[in-house]
């Protein structure tokens, strides 16, 4: 634990609290080890991680705000590891409904083939009762009428009335919430102010420069120093195109960049970029823009 926390500036009182939570969780979560996150997130600023740690340790809800592929989910997994708390994930969309959040009823049969109605808990109820972390990905893609279900979960009450069982679910004291948002992305809507006010907001920008190069060297199969430097330049140029509105955020995703680096260990970079980045884009002008940047850096 000390080794994981070493890079991040944290007060001793917070470190002590984290260690206490971590020790307690190691005793009680043996049935949910498969939901634990993993390390691997590299922060462009160590305060991004330390501030998120402090907020969670104080019982605050954390909203990670940043572009697609900037590492918001990996940061959530790192926090899960630090606190030794499993993640119960919700992937928001326009189809998200109360059942996806709280659970649903289904039929099950006993040994005598008699049918019984069984309630299967959803991620919100499971995380609350077990004192785990609820991770709400792309929260601003959910329908506005669905999210108010979470109001009581996210405020001081830490409770929700499950309409399917009639039970008032109250959260375990260790329960935490992390959400992620891509503002301005296609298919998203601005978060209701009342909902946003329930969070501590942390910006998660793209990794760039020497930090990006170190992360690519550590996490990808590509080890050639010159090619790694070229990929750092590619990332910088793609991000500038995103800022100018010439390509979408998908084109500058760190995930896609890692894929391209992996492929470049076995094929020429230009073809790797085509497979990992260019062909994911729908707009021909965006594809041409990425291709031009790749040719400028890596040649034809």
Q: What angle do CA 163, 166, 168 make, to 5 degrees?
A: 95
pLDDT in tens, 219-237: 999 999 999 999 999 999 9
Q: Is 22 exposed, middle or buried (0-12, 13-18, 19+ CB in 10 A)?
A: middle
Q: Considering only CA atoms, which of 205, 295, 207, 212 is closest in space to residue 261?
A: 212
Ramachandran region, residue 78 (left: φ > 0; alpha: ψ -120 to 50; beta: rest): alpha
pLDDT of residue 70: 86
pLDDT of residue 268: 95
Q: Within 13 A of 112's CA, how many CA atoms are on the CB side?
A: 2
pTM of this structure: 0.85
d(CA 196, CA 133): 18
Are 139 and 180 contacting, i.e. CB atoms less than 8 angstroms apart?
Answer: yes
pLDDT of residue 217: 94
Q: Considering only CA atoms, which of 177, 170, 143, 162 is closest in space to residue 60?
A: 177
pLDDT of residue 24: 85
Entry field: residues in the chain: 300
User: At which residue do the structure tokens 């008032």 appear?
Assistant: 168
pLDDT in tens, 70-120: 889 999 999 999 999 999 999 988 888 889 999 988 888 877 777 888 888
User: Rounded to a whole number, what is the distance in angstroms from the first to the last CA of the chain?
Assistant: 47
Q: Considering only CA atoms, which of 71, 73, 78, 179 is closest in space to residue 124?
A: 179
What are the residues whose beta carbons fall under 8 Å from the beta carbon of 30, sequence distance 6 or more? none
pLDDT of residue 186: 52
Low-confidence ranges of the chain (pLDDT < 50): none
User: At which residue do the structure tokens 């298919």 appear?
Assistant: 187
d(CA 135, CA 80): 10
CA 83 to chain centre: 16
Are 293 and 270 contacting, i.e. CB atoms less than 8 angstroms apart?
Answer: no
Residue 116 backbone dihedrals phi, psi, to 5 degrees = -135, 145
């Amino acid at each position: 634990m000390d080794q994981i926390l070493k890079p991040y500036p944290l007060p001793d009182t917070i470190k002590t609290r984290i260690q206490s939570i971590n020790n307690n969780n190691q005793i009680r979560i043996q049935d949910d080890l498969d939901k634990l996150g993993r390390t691997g997130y590299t922060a462009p600023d160590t305060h991004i991680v330390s501030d998120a740690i402090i907020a969670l340790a104080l019982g605050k809800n954390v909203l990670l705000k940043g572009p697609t592929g900037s590492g918001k989910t990996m940061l959530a997994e790192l926090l899960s590891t630090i606190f030794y708390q499993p993640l119960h994930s919700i992937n928001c969309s326009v189809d998200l409904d109360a059942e996806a959040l709280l659970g649903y009823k289904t039929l099950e049969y006993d040994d005598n083939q008699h049918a019984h109605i069984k309630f299967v808990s959803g991620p919100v109820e499971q995380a609350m009762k077990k004192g785990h972390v609820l991770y709400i990905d792309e929260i601003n893609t959910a329908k506005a009428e669905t999210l108010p279900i979470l109001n009581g979960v996210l405020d001081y009450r830490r409770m929700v009335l499950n309409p399917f069982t009639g039970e008032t679910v109250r959260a375990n004291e260790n329960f935490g919430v992390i959400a992620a948002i891509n503002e301005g992305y296609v298919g998203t809507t601005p978060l209701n102010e009342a909902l946003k006010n329930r969070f501590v907001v942390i910006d998660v920008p793209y990794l760039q420069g020497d930090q990006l190069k170190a992360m690519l060297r550590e996490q990808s199969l590509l080890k050639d120093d010159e090619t790694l430097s070229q990929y750092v330049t590619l990332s910088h140029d793609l991000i500038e195109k995103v800022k100018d509105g010439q390509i979408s955020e998908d084109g500058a995703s760190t995930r896609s960049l890692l894929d391209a680096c992996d492929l470049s260990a076995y094929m020429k970079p230009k073809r790797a970029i085509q497979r990992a980045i260019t062909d994911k884009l729908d707009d021909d002008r965006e594809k041409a823009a990425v291709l031009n940047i790749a040719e400028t850096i890596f040649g034809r």
